[in-house]
Amino acid sequence: MTKVLISEMEPNQDIATCLVVTEKQLRTARNGSLFLTLKLLDKTGEITGRVWENAEEVCNAVPVKTAVFLRGRSEKYREELQLNIREIRPLETDEVDASDFLPACPVEPGVLFEGLQKILGTVKRRSLRQLSTAFLSDQSLMKRFRIAPAAKSMHHAYLGGLLEHTLGVTRLVSEVCELYPVLDRDQLLVGAFLHDIGKIDEFVYDLFIDYSDAGRLLGHMVLGVEILEKKSRTLKTPHHEEMRALKHLILSHHGEAEFGAVKPPMTREAFVLHAADDLDAKLNFLGRILEAPGDPGQLWTGYQPLFDRFFYRGAPFPAERKPSPGKAGPEEGITQLSLWADNRQKSPHESS
């Protein structure tokens, strides 16, 4: 049996594959026997697995947050696909390929990073240009920045998602500055670059994406300010007011406290960054919703609790009819109405 992805699984199928255990719970069945419930995932989704034989022994042998090889059979239970697991064992480190479990950005990270370098190369103010260069030239930091996700499960929730989102927001604020020259373009570009830099520490992303301890306790905005302060101490050029403005951009880019902002936006630049961040995140999330496979001809998505609405996929536009080969004039099978004939009578509203 070849390894099968969760998205490819169908009912009543023999399964032999590698998955990650994210949760486990030992339960008691109605007959008093123990069974083990597992939450399993790969890069395409999540599925529930159950072990009915030797459940306690398996529970002790299979740690959470580890990759496993399993054999079993897929089956429907209360309209939900699940795995009846007959064999399961943890994988050794050399048996694990993280790319099997973590989704990745559809765009090559090198292309995205080159685009980010190019737009930051247009920063004119010497102090901010040196600051952005100091970040871009930090190979260890940028290695993590290039592969980190932007979220656990919402927008850009895949390897390279942080870089993709950062470039999207940076491009947006650059375009807005063309329309509103009063804005401090240099400050906005560097602020957009650094607004989510704390996410390299907020998440862990080895076998699956989850919050780190620091991420849960502090959040990426506070972590981002810490990274900015640490880097700025290696430079003498950033002015105190410039640093304060950049910190405000980082701490306010979620807009409101209920959405995680430490402070609401209090400058024009902060308003722009919040709007750009919100737009790029929501369009990425909506893209996943609207492009998800569904029933053919289904014009609406399911109800989306986050937005409190359904979304319209849109009816396909009818294809244009092409004239038959070698036939000029009106399309074959269509009668030309006399309304358009040269000898038609003029409307009373037309001049003579």
Q: pLDDT by residue (tens digit) across 178-235?
A: 999 999 999 999 999 999 999 999 999 888 888 999 999 999 999 999 999 999 988 8
User: Sorting pLDDT into bands at 50, 70 and 90, what band is 1?
Assistant: very low
- The stretch 92-96 carries a mean pLDDT of 80
Same structural domain, 150 and 279: yes
Domain-located, residue 311: no
**DSSP H or E stretch at residue 12:** none
- The stretch 234-255 carries a mean pLDDT of 90
The answer to whether 68 touches 62, Cβ cutoff 8 Å, is yes
Tell me which range, 2-16, 28-42, 88-102, is most confidently predicted by mean pLDDT: 28-42
| Confidence check: pLDDT of 331 > 50 | no
Pairing of strands 203-205, 80-90: unpaired
For residue 258, the domain's CATH number is 1.10.3210
Domain-located, residue 173: yes
Query: Structure pTM?
Result: 0.76
Same structural domain, 277 and 233: yes
- The stretch 2-23 carries a mean pLDDT of 88
For residue 61, the domain's CATH number is 2.40.50.140
Same structural domain, 168 and 135: yes
Q: Phi then psi for 280, rounded to 5 degrees? A: -65, -40
Question: What are the structure tokens assigned to 165, written together?
Answer: 């989102």
CA distance 1 to 277: 45
Domain-located, residue 328: no
Question: What are the structure tokens assigned to 130, written together?
Answer: 């040196």
pLDDT in tens, 51-71: 999 999 999 999 998 899 999
Secondary structure E strands in the chain? 14-28, 34-42, 45-51, 66-77, 80-90, 203-205, 209-211
The answer to whether 142 touches 136, Cβ cutoff 8 Å, is yes
Same structural domain, 123 and 253: yes
- Mean residue pLDDT of the chain comes to 87
Domain-located, residue 56: yes
CA distance 153 to 210: 9
Domain edge (last residue) among 100, 135, 155 = 100
| Confidence check: pLDDT of 309 > 60 | yes
Give me the domain span that covers residue 36.
6-100
Total domains in the fold of the chain: 2
Domain edge (last residue) among 290, 308, 323 = 290
Nearest residue to 53 via CA among 88, 90, 18, 6:
88
Domain edge (last residue) among 69, 100, 131 = 100
- The stretch 139-157 carries a mean pLDDT of 93
